Structure 1
Amino acid sequence: MTLRFLLCLGLGAWLSGCSHPVRDVHQTHLQPVSLQQATQTVASDLFARIREDKGMLGRFTEQSVAIDPITDRYSQEQVAVSEEMTAYIKAVGTALRMAKLSVLSAQTLRSSQYVIQGTLGLEKHPKQPNKLYHLQAVALNVRNGELVASADAWIDDKHLRYQALPEFNDSPMYLVNKQAARPLAESYSAARFLMDVQATALLNDAGQAYRRKRYAAARDLYRQAGTHATAEQMLRVYAGLYMSQLRLGQAAAAEQAFEQLLALSFAQRDVLTLKILFKVDSEVFYGDALAQQQYQQWLRKMTEYMTKNQRCLHITGHSSRTGSAEYNDALSLARANRIKSVLDAGLGGDTAQVTAEGRGFRENLIGSGTDDDRDSLDRRVEFSVPACVR
């Protein structure tokens, strides 16, 4: 008998993991429960798999885990409830006494072995008649990007604190998640995680600084994130530079950042998702005087870009989920036509360059129907860039 075989028969097998049983990395929980219970159940599943990932020795050693705050599944924005969920996840890890826990940042990334990421969004439950909030989360190995665990749970709380956090609320753009229709674990890519994670950590740092009104620090951190960012992440970088420099009174620098954001959006994405929003049941712009002034500036920059680059634009109006489908189709079209009239005027009356349609509430991002700031993204317009037909 070889020494290795003898070790595997004895205590050595228990400690070194000579054999690794095949395990299912995903856990699902269909019974709707409270936000706290759902979050803690998912966290318990993830931490159990993290401990297993280290083998038997993992039962006796602390694992360093960074929590990337939960984002809305469709807009990829962090909302107020994200902070609440982070606290619940931390509480589970502390109770298990098996993890050093922190929020994902550039500093904590350097010392973390695992990262937890997740999304939250209203979805059709497999066995319930109505849409419910669905939490999906994954645990990832920082070193190699391996998916260690995934779990999901359904939430029966109907009125979550869904207001966007300041760095997302003030952003001129939201980013539609193109993978939203697929389960989070299936849309995950180790290569993409490894490319994204450094910039993600720095963007979290920049967002924290912006939230604390440390706008100069936020600007510098957004610039630093730009040195690591993918093309998709650069949209958040330019948006962050725009809003932090605007807060610092650096109008020319903010305008330049917006121009870069616009150019990259046209180049990289099929849909331009400027955050031009409307009041409930109205064609009137949503937001304070500063926000409405920014809308006009954004539209002016769009006409300048279209003229310079000979681009055409299609505007799609949207509405929140209250009232009849017919009424909301008309309202969303009226919103699109309002934007079209502004762009037409800026283009010297060339009405063929801009087209418009209304989609009512068929393509809601939030879909809660609360008609307040929580579902303001549903009262939006989107811009697509078709080929010009002359």
Structure 2
Amino acid sequence: MLSTLFARSAALSVALALAGAASAQPVPPPTPIPYPEALQKAASDLFTKANVTGDRVELVIDPLIDGVSGAQSAATRSMQQALTEIVQKSYPRFAVQPFSSEALAREPVVLIGTFTAVNNGGDNAGPRDAFRICLTLADLKSKSIVSKGVARAKPEGIDVTPTQYYRDSPVWAKDQATEAYIKTCQGTKLGDPVDAVYADRLRAAALINDGILEYEAKRYREALAFYHTARTLPGGDQHRVRIGTYLSAAKLGRRDDAVDAFGDLVDSGLAGNQLMVKLLFKPGSTQFIDNPQITEPYPMWLSQIATRARAKGACLEIVGHTSRTGMPNMNERLSVLRAQFVMELLQIGAPDSRNRMIATGMGFKENLIGTGKDDASDALDRRVEFKVIGC
């Protein structure tokens, strides 16, 4: 009798152990599918499950962005156009309206979305072998998230080259408005309230988008007017406004205005302890690329960084970055050498700052894009970063 009880107890222990092991197994990653199918799946989930009433629902699309850099790209623009066509064809109760102050005043449903290169297995250090589509509907009337749609897409045929405004942007820095957009898309679930920071900046965001479109259409005066107006609005003091003001002034040949605008970018970045500048180098070299059209403003940029940092009494860590291409140890060494080269250029104009700067390199450990294409699509991965550190 006793032996039977021991046998049953042992069998139960084994069964429980096996059940525990089974439950502890990680959930397998989603299987990426071709991009058109992935977008259709995400859109179908988004609109068929939308928890919003009414025979006619006004819908505006806040332009889709990369989920890390916050940039618009050829892919996000084409995705936005495809979503508009899907809505008009298959979900006619949603009436797509322009992303404008007038439409936003009527408290429509807003579609936001991110498109992000990821490692499908969840390895942050691994190659980006899939794209994550995240779509969200935010109802401005109820101030809540009313639907979600997600999918994973294969990378074949996807062009993530930034649009002209983002391609021309000289710097990248964390921006509260962009982070709120990404959080509202990726960090919410059905029924959650709409992020207040995101909602409060929507009207300004519409004007900023108008400015971006005018800039890309080469109507620089009109673009500048939109940026100036946006900055006067609540929530309009955004990084994208500073970038647009600099780019438009530079295109119009207003050098003094461009210098002031770039200085404003530097001040904002240093205040946030993160200023990332797109200084483009020759492959495998510490020398800038042979393209005067791109490198012509570099001396002014570096002069403003040195001058503004000195005025703040700031000490700087200058951090070089590279793309994934090449051997890791070589990339790390190259990133250090590039940072040292930039530091030396800064010190030429500010020799009294020699003891207030250090140069380091990260190789490709902190890639933002991570596709390793070594073209305009992943230029941010080859940035030089300026961090304020203790003196």
TM-score, normalization by structure 2: 0.83
Q: CA 1:263 to 1:144, structure 2 compared with 1: closer, same or farther past 3 Å?
A: farther
User: What's the counterpart of residue 382 of structure 1?
Assistant: 385
Relative to 1, partners in 2 of residues 1:229 and 1:161: Cα closer, same or farther, differing over 3 Å? farther
Judged with a 3 Å threshold, the aligned counterparts in structure 2 of structure 1 residues 85 and 310 are, in CA distance, closer, same or farther, namely same
Alignment of 1:22-171 (within 5 A): 30-50=30-50, 52-54=51-53, 58=54, 61-95=55-89, 96-111=91-106, 113-126=108-121, 131-171=129-169
Contact 2:135-2:185 at 8 Å conserved across structures: no
TM-score (norm 1): 0.83
CA contact (8 A) 1:114 1:139 kept: yes
Q: For residue 33 of structure 1, give the secondary structure of its aligned residue in structure 2.
A: coil
Residues 1:182 and 1:211: Cα distance change in structure 2 (over 3 Å): closer
Question: Which residue identity does 1:74 align to in structure 2?
Answer: V
- Following TM superposition, by how much is the alpha carbon of 1:282 offset from its aligned partner in structure 2, in angstroms? 2.5
The answer to whether the 8 Å contact 1:66/1:102 transfers is yes
Do the aligned partners of residues 105 and 284 (structure 1) sit closer, same or farther apart at CA in structure 2, a change above 3 Å counting?
farther
Query: Do the aligned residues in 2 keep the contact of 1:65 with 1:112 (CA within 8 Å)?
Result: no
Question: Tell me, which stretches of 5 or more residues in structure 1 are unaligned?
Answer: 1-28
The alignment status of 1:254 with 2:258, answered yes or no, reads yes
Letter of the structure 2 residue corresponding to residue 153 of structure 1: A
Deviation track 1:249-304 (CA, whole Å, cap 9, x = no partner) reads 1111122222222222222x121122323333232334831321212111001111
Return 110-119 or 371-380, whichever deviates more.
110-119
Q: Aligned partners of 2:210 and 2:103: how far apart in 1? A: 11
Answer whether contact 1:336 1:358 (CA < 8 A) is retained.
Answer: yes
Q: Distance in 2 between matches of 1:100 and 1:94?
A: 8
Give the aligned CA root-mean-square deviation in angstroms.
Answer: 2.5
Query: What is the distance in 1 between the residues matched to 2:319 and 2:114?
Result: 26
What is aligned with 1:196? Answer: 201
- The percentage of aligned residue pairs carrying the same residue is 29
Is residue 242 of structure 2 the alignment partner of residue 243 of structure 1?
A: no
Post-superposition CA distance 1:157-212 (Å, at most 9, x none): 33421111111111222234768799713398521121121111111111011011
1:315 is aligned with what amino acid? I
Query: 1:112 and 1:223 mapped to 2: Cα distance?
Result: 25
Which of residues 316, 331, 336 is equivalent to 2:334? 331
* Partner Cα separation in structure 1 for residue 363 and residue 249 of structure 2: 35
Contact 1:316–1:358 under 8 Å retained in 2: yes
Distance in 2 between the 1:159 and 1:284 partners?
A: 32
**Matching residue's letter, 1:78:** Q
How many angstroms apart in 2 are the aligned matches of 1:120 and 1:203?
Answer: 20
- Structure 2 partner of 1:21: none
Larger CA deviation: 187-196 vs 205-214 = 187-196
Secondary structure, counterpart of 1:330 in structure 2: helix
Paired with 2:328 and 2:184, the residues of 1 have a C-alpha distance of 27
Any conservation in 2 of the 1:138–1:185 contact (CA below 8 Å)?
no
Q: Deviations over 1:315-373 (max 9, x none)?
A: 11111111111010011111111111111111115322111111011111111111212
With over 3 angstroms needed to count, the CA separation of the structure-2 counterparts of 1:320 and 1:110, relative to structure 1, is same
Quick one: which amino acid aligns to residue 252 of structure 1?
D
Distance of 1:197 and 1:182 partners within structure 2: 12
Q: Distance in 2 between matches of 1:255 and 1:98?
A: 49
Q: Does 2:305 match 1:310? A: no
Whether the 8 Å contact between 2:73 and 2:161 is mirrored in structure 1 is: yes
Moved more, 360-369 or 270-279: 270-279
Whole-Å Cα distance in 2 between the matches of residues 144 and 91 of structure 1? Answer: 26
Instruction: Structure 2 unaligned segments of length 5 or more: list them.
Output: 1-28
Bigger Cα displacement from structure 2, 311-320 vs 121-130: 121-130
Indicate conservation of the 8 Å contact 2:133/2:150, yes or no. yes
Alignment-mate amino acid for residue 253 of structure 2: G
Instruction: Give, in whole Å, the separation in 2 of the partners of 1:364 and 1:173.
Output: 15
Q: What is the total number of aligned residue pairs between the two structures?
A: 352
Q: CA deviation at 1:386?
A: 0.7
1 CA distance for matches of 2:260 and 2:220?
17
C-alpha distance in 2, partners of 1:367/1:215?
Answer: 32
Write the distance in 1 (CA, Å) between the matches of 2:40 and 2:371: 24
Matches within 5 A, 1:276-315: 276-286=279-289, 288-315=291-318
Name the counterpart of 1:220.
225
Measure, in 2, the Cα distance between the counterparts of 1:234 and 1:204: 12
CA offsets per residue over residues 367-387 of structure 1, 9 Å max, x none?
111121211111111111012
Secondary structure of the corresponding residue to residue 143 of structure 2 = coil
Equivalents in 2 of 1:343, 1:127: separation in Å? 39
Q: Within 2, Cα distance between the matches of 1:299 and 1:185?
A: 37
Could you say which structure has the larger radius of gyration? 2
Q: What does the per-residue CA deviation read over 1:212-235, in whole Å, with 9 as the maximum and x for residues that have no partner?
A: 11100000001111122537x522
Distance 1:288 1:69 in 2: 31
Contact 2:145 2:188 survives alignment (8 Å): no
Whole-Å separation in 1 of the counterparts to 2:140 and 2:209: 17
What does residue 187 of structure 2 align with? 185
